[in-house]
Amino acid sequence: MTENMSCYVLCDPNKCTGCKACELACFAEHNKENNDVAYTVGTVTIPVTPKLYLTKTEKYCMPVQCKHCEDAPCLNACKKHAIYRDENKQVIVDQSKCIGCKDCVMACPFGAISILPVSDNGAVLLQKDKECVKAASKCDLCTGIEGGPACVRVCPNEALRLVDLNEEQLAKSIATANSLYDSRLS
């Protein structure tokens, strides 16, 4: 048996209505600790920087987010070693190492990474020339956050789900084997 596969969040575009609750929950969840974002609007003093991106075309409407690829092009493209794989196999950006070179944005085949302003202590970080500090921003599956991915929790249409293919693949393998076994008997 090979090693475990990483998990990712999958959207059913037939259920998504484009309400952006996922984007806002993602932002709020990731800025609770360092930027004091709480439940009321008055607590938000920084730009909204989600880690998933609602995308609309004529036929689709769904958030696009990181698939935590097993052979991650972003990780392999990053020259500053700012992207790493954690103990759960999730692909994570260390924004403190990121310089916003955009190689990962280029490398990602899904458009799941964006370069966005970085905030701390309730304010945007600034460079010497007063431009704001920007870094790669992408889904980290709310690693370390109680209750799992915020986007999945808040979606009013239950359009998002956390996919764990290790279990799903096993379940499907068993179902396939069962059906073949049954058909042989009959």
Q: Between the CA of residue 149 and those of 46, 51, 140, 142, 162, what are the distances in Å?
A: 22, 11, 9, 5, 8
Residue 72 CB, nearest distance to another protein (Å)? 29
Binding of another protein at residue 111 (CB under 8 A)? no
Binding of another protein at residue 156 (CB under 8 A)? yes
Q: Which of 7, 9, 22, 27 binds another protein (CB under 8 A)?
A: 27
Pick between residue 24 and residue 165 the one whose CB is nearest to another protein. 24
Stretch of 69-77, 92-100, 119-127, 175-183 contacting another protein, by CB under 8 A: 119-127
Q: Where are the alpha helices (DSSP H) in 73-158?
A: 73-77, 103-107, 150-154
> Which distant-in-sequence residues (6+ apart) come within 8 Å of 12 by Cβ?
159, 160, 161
Q: Which of 26, 46, 104, 113 binds another protein (CB under 8 A)?
A: 46
Pick between residue 95 and residue 166 the one whose CB is nearest to another protein. 95
Q: How buried is 172 (Cβ within 10 angstroms: 0-12 exposed, 13-18 middle, 19+ buried)?
A: exposed
Contact positions vs another protein (CB under 8 A): 14-21, 23-24, 27-28, 41, 44-48, 56-61, 117, 122-124, 132, 156-157, 159
